[in-house]
Amino acid sequence: MPDSKLKLGVLVSGNGTNLQAILEACKKGGIGAEVAVVISNDSKAFALKRAEKFKIPTAVVPDTRDAEAEILKILRNYKVDLVCLAGFMRLLSSSFLKVFSHRIINIHPALLPSFPGLNAQKKAFDYGVKIAGATVHFVDEGCDTGAIILQEAVAVEDDDTFETLREKILKVEHKIYPKAIALIATERLKIIGRRVLGRTMDHGP
Active site residues: 108
What does the alpha-carbon distance between residue 157 and residue 161 come to, in Å, rounded to a whole number?
9
In the DSSP assignment, the letter for residue 41 is: S
Of the candidates 103, 150, 137, the one whose C-alpha atom is nearest the C-alpha of residue 7 is 103
Angle between helices 162-185 and 17-28 (to 10 degrees): 40
Of the candidates 173, 163, 9, the one whose C-alpha atom is nearest the C-alpha of residue 78 is 9
| Cβ atoms of residues 133 and 119 within 8 Å | no
Element (H, E) at 120: helix 120-127
Task: Give Dmax over CA atoms of the chain in angstroms.
Answer: 50
